[in-house]
Structure 1
Amino acid sequence: MFRNLHSSTTEGVAASRVLVLSLLLFAFTFQIGNAQNLTNERDYEVSVLGFKIGEMTANRSKSGDSTVYKVKSAVSFWFFGKVNVDFNVDTRLLNNQIVWSRSFSTSNKGDFRSELKWNGQFYTVDAATYKFENKKPINDPLYLSGSMLFFHEPKGGENSLAEVYGLVSKVKKIENNGYEVTINGNTNKYYYKNGVMVLAEMESPIKNYVIKLVE
C-alpha cells in the first residue's frame, strides 16, 4: 500500500512538472508570436494657419519579414469653395525593401491614384495627383518613404520615396532635430522627439498645412 502511495505521489509530481513546462512553452510561444506580429498606430491633427481641418492616422504592422505602413486622413478646407478630401496610402516592405505602394485620394473636386511596384529589377510607376502625372521608372531599391517617416527618424542623405508623386528625394538634416524633403518643388519639414515624429510642416500646390501628433 505504501509503495502504491509513493508511486502515485511520484506520478503526480511528474505530471505537475509536465504541466508547468507546457505552460512555460505556451507563454514563450505566445511572446514570440506577439514579437513577430507587431502593430503600432499614431494619431495626428491636421491644421491650416492654426485651425484644425481634419485628422490623420498612421499605422505600422509587422509580420515576419513583411512590414506594412498605412496612412489615412480626412480633411475639409476652403479652396475656391469647400473641399472634402479622403486620403489613403499603403506601402509594403519585404526584408526592409519597399516592394509595392499605392495611394489614392477622393474628393468632391476629383479623384487621384498612384501606384508603384518592384518587378525584381526596377520600380514601375503610375502616379497621378493634382496637376501632376509621372510614369518614369525608378531603378534603385528603396528603403524609406513618406509614410514610414511617421515611425522612423531618418538620416541626412537618405533617399525617400514620395508615394503620391512616385519621386525620390534626398533627406536633408536641419535644425531642431528636423529633416527636410523637397518633392516636385514643395519642401516638407519633419520634426522628431525621442525618435517619434511630433510635427510636420507640409507644402502643397493647393494649400500648406501642419501635421501634429495627438499626445
Structure 2
Amino acid sequence: MMKFISKRTFEIRLFLILTGIIIFGSVTAQTTTKSYSIELAGFQIGDMKVEEIKRNEIIEYNLKSLVSFWFFGKINVELTINSIYKNGKLISSDSKSISNRGSFYSKIKWNGTSYLVDSHSYKFDNKTSIQNLVPFSIVKFYFQEPNPQQMMISETFGLTSLISKKEQGVYQIEINGNRNKFVFKNGDLDHALIQNPIKNYMIKRIY
C-alpha cells in the first residue's frame, strides 16, 4: 500500500537531505586560493591565480594567468592549467595558452602504464611518452615545498626534471634548457624566477 506524507513532512525531509549534501560537500572538498603578480624588470606585466581543491584522495590544481608586455609589438597571453592528482601522483593535465601571436596547448594523461604526452608550445612540440608516475608538477610548487631530487613534470612542455635544492628553501629545475628557481619562505612559495625564450620574468606572491 502506498504511504502518503504531508507537505510539511516532505519539506523537512528535503531540507535535511540538502543540508546533509552541503555539510558532506564542505567536509570532503577543501579549497585554497593564492594570488601572484608577474613582473618583468621590476614592472608588473600580469597576474596569476592558483587554486588547490582537495577531495579525499583526489587533488585538483587550477592556474590562470593574464600577461601583457612589449616585445617587438604588444603581446597578450592568457594561460590556464588544470592538473589532477590521485594518491599523490599526477594522473592528467591540460594546459592552454592563448595569445595574439598564436595559441598552444599541452595534454598529459596517465593510461595505466605511461603518460601520453601531446604538447605544442612556442617553437616546441613533444609527443614522447613518460614511463613512470610523477609526484610533482609546476602548479604544485605553489602549494607545497618539494623534496630534493624529487621528479617533476612541466604541464606546458610534457618534460620531466629532477628538483635540485640549491640552499634552504630554494629549488631549481631545468626544462627545455631553461632553469627556473622557486624560493620558499616558511614553507610557502614566495617567488619564482622563470627563464623564457622570449623574456625572463618573476612570479611574486601577493600577501
Q: Give the TM-score normalised by structure 2.
A: 0.87
Distance 2:147 2:184 in 1: 12
1:3: which partner in 2?
none
Which of 187, 192, 196 is residue 200 of structure 1 equivalent to? 192
1:112: which partner in 2?
104
Tell me, what secondary structure is at the counterpart of 1:147? helix
Q: Deviations over 1:3-40 (max 9, x none)?
A: xxxxxxxxxxxxxxxxxxxxxxx99x94x753421000
Aligned length: 189
1:214: which partner in 2?
206
2:115: which partner in 1?
123
Moved more, 59-68 or 44-53: 59-68
2:144 aligned with 1:157, yes or no?
A: no
Distance 2:172 2:164 in 1: 5
1:174: which partner in 2?
166
Distance 1:81 1:168 in 2: 32
2:32: which partner in 1?
40
Unaligned runs of 5+ in 2: 1-18
Tell me, what secondary structure is at the counterpart of 1:34? helix
Q: Which amino acid aligns with 2:132?
A: D
Q: Which amino acid aligns with 2:131?
A: N
Q: Deviations over 1:54-89 (max 9, x none)?
A: 000110001122110011100000111000000001
Q: Deviations over 1:117-161 (max 9, x none)?
A: 000010100001000000000000111000011001001100011
Unaligned runs of 5+ in 1: 1-25
Q: Where does structure 1 differ by over 4 angstroms across 4 or more consecutive aligned residues?
A: none
Tell me, what secondary structure is at the counterpart of 2:26? helix
After superposition, the CA RMSD in angstroms is 1.7
